[in-house]
A and B are shown apart, each in its own frame.
Chain A
Amino acid sequence: MKWLVGLAAGATLVSAWSLSSQAQAQTAPSCPVKIGGILPLTGSMGPVGKRISDSAQLAIKHINEGGGIKGCPVEFVLRDDQGQPTVGVDAAKYLVEVERVPALTGTVSSGVTLPILTSVSVPSKIPQISCCSTAATFTTLAQEGKTGGFFFRTLPTVKTQAYASAQIAAERGFKRVAMIYINTDFGTGMVKDFTRAFSKLGGQVLKTVPYNENQASYRAEVNTALAEKPDAVFFVAFPQDGATMTREWISLGGTQNLILNNSLRSPEYVKAVGARFLQSAYGMDNASVSSPYVEAFKKAFQAAYNASPDGPGIYNQYDATMILGLAMNVASELNGTAIRDAIRKLQDPNGTVVGTGPEEFKKAMALIKERKPIRYSGATGPVEFDANGDINGAALIWTVKGDQLATERTLTIEDMAQVFKKIDG
Chain B
Amino acid sequence: MGLVSYLVFFLIVVTIFGILTLGLNLQWGSTGVFNAGVVGFYAIGGYAFAILTAPARPELIGNLGLPWVVGIIGALAVSAVVAIFVGLATIKLRGDYLAIATFGIAVTIQLIALNWEGLTGGSLGLTSIPRPLSGIFTTPLSYNLFYLALTAGFCLLVYWALERVSRSPWGRALKAIREDEGAAIALGKNATSLRLQAFVLGSAVMGLSGALYVSFIGFISPFDFLPIITFQVWTMLIVGGSGNNKGALLGTLIVWGLWSASGTLISKIVPATYQTQGGAIQAILIGLVLVLTLLFRPRGLIGEEPVVSRHVT
Residues in A lying within 8 Å of B, measured CB to CB? 1, 3-5, 7-8, 11-12, 14-15, 18-20, 22-23, 26, 41-43, 46-47, 49-50, 53-54, 57, 77-80, 82-87, 89-91, 93-94, 96-98, 100, 109-112, 114-115, 118-119, 123-124, 135-137, 141, 144, 146, 183-185, 187-189, 210, 212
Q: Which residues of B contact A188 (CB under 8 A)?
A: 117, 122-124
Q: Which positions 209-235 of chain B face chain A at CB distance < 8 Å?
A: 216-219, 221, 223-224, 226, 228-229
Check: B293 CB closer than 8 A to any chain A CB: yes
- Can you report 30 A-B residue pairs in the complex whose CB atoms are below 8 A from each other? A11-B265, A15-B265, A18-B264, A22-B2, A26-B2, A41-B278, A42-B283, A50-B276, A78-B275, A80-B267, A80-B275, A84-B226, A85-B219, A85-B223, A91-B263, A93-B9, A97-B5, A98-B3, A109-B223, A111-B224, A115-B217, A118-B218, A119-B217, A119-B219, A141-B128, A184-B123, A184-B223, A185-B124, A189-B124, A212-B114
Contacting pair B258 A8 (CB below 8 A): yes
A136-B125 Cα distance, complex, nearest whole Å: 12
* B257, chain A: closest CB distance, angstroms: 6
Contacting pair A115 B219 (CB below 8 A): yes
Interface size on B, residues (CB 8 A): 55
Check: B136 CB closer than 8 A to any chain A CB: no
Q: Which residues of B contact A183 (CB under 8 A)?
A: 114-115, 123
Q: Which of B239, B265, B273 contacts A14 (CB 8 A)?
A: B265
Q: Which of A5, A15, A141, A184 contacts B261 (CB 8 A)?
A: A15
Check: B297 CB closer than 8 A to any chain A CB: yes
Q: Which of B115, B219, B257, B275 contacts A12 (CB 8 A)?
A: B257
* A248, chain B: closest CB distance, angstroms: 22
Contacting pair A41 B218 (CB below 8 A): no
A266-B161 Cα distance, complex, nearest whole Å: 56
Q: A97-B5, A118-B218 are in contact. Are A187 and B123 (CB under 8 A)?
A: yes
Beyond the given pairs A11-B265, A85-B221, 4 more chain A to chain B contacts, judged by CB atoms under 8 angstroms and listed by A's residue number, are: A1-B297, A90-B10, A112-B223, A188-B123
Contacting pair A12 B261 (CB below 8 A): yes
A93-B256 Cα distance, complex, nearest whole Å: 15
* B107, chain A: closest CB distance, angstroms: 10
Q: Which residues of B contact A184 (CB under 8 A)?
A: 123, 223
Q: Which of A84, A111, A123 contacts B143 (CB 8 A)?
A: A123
Contacting pair A84 B217 (CB below 8 A): no
Contacting pair B218 A119 (CB below 8 A): yes
* B47, chain A: closest CB distance, angstroms: 14
Contacting pair A8 B257 (CB below 8 A): yes
Q: Which positions 270-311 of chain B face chain A at CB distance < 8 Å?
A: 272-273, 275-276, 278-280, 283, 289, 293, 296-297, 301
* A144, chain B: closest CB distance, angstroms: 8
A264-B297 Cα distance, complex, nearest whole Å: 48
A93-B122 Cα distance, complex, nearest whole Å: 27
Is the contact region of chain A dominated by helix, strand, or loop, or is it mixed?
helix
Number of A-B contacts (CB under 8 A): 164
A137-B124 Cα distance, complex, nearest whole Å: 8
Q: Which residues of B contact A84 (CB under 8 A)?
A: 223-224, 226, 228
Centre residue among A41, A43, A83, A189 by max chain B CB count within 10 A: A41
A123-B134 Cα distance, complex, nearest whole Å: 11
* A286, chain B: closest CB distance, angstroms: 21
Q: A84-B223, A146-B128 are in contact. Are A94 and B261 (CB under 8 A)?
A: no
A14-B239 Cα distance, complex, nearest whole Å: 21
A1-B258 Cα distance, complex, nearest whole Å: 16
Q: Which residues of A contact B9 (CB under 8 A)?
A: 90, 93, 97
Q: Which residues of B contact A119 (CB under 8 A)?
A: 216-219
Contacting pair A11 B124 (CB below 8 A): no
| CB nearest to B267 among chain A residues | A79
Q: Which residues of B contact A189 (CB under 8 A)?
A: 124
* A237, chain B: closest CB distance, angstroms: 14
A245-B282 Cα distance, complex, nearest whole Å: 31
Q: Which residues of A contact B224 (CB under 8 A)?
A: 84-86, 111, 115
Centre residue among B218, B239, B273, B296 by max chain A CB count within 10 A: B218
A313-B226 Cα distance, complex, nearest whole Å: 25
Q: A41-B279, A86-B224 are in contact. Are A79 and B263 (CB under 8 A)?
A: yes
Contact with A along B184-223 (1 / 0, CB 8 A): 0000000000000000000000000000000011110101
Check: B254 CB closer than 8 A to any chain A CB: yes
Q: Which residues of B contact A115 (CB under 8 A)?
A: 217-219, 221, 224
Check: B168 CB closer than 8 A to any chain A CB: no
Contacting pair A23 B2 (CB below 8 A): yes
Contacting pair A118 B217 (CB below 8 A): yes
| CB nearest to A305 among chain B residues | B273
Q: Which 4 A-B pairs have the closest CB atoms?
A: A42-B279, A97-B6, A97-B5, A111-B223
Q: Which positions 1-28 of chain B face chain A at CB distance < 8 Å?
A: 2-3, 5-6, 9-10, 13
* A186, chain B: closest CB distance, angstroms: 8
Q: Which of B2, B263, B273 contacts A100 (CB 8 A)?
A: B2
A144-B128 Cα distance, complex, nearest whole Å: 10
| CB nearest to B8 among chain A residues | A97
| CB nearest to A186 among chain B residues | B123
* B113, chain A: closest CB distance, angstroms: 11
Q: Which of A41, A98, A112 contacts B2 (CB 8 A)?
A: A98
Q: Which residues of B contact A1 (CB under 8 A)?
A: 297, 301
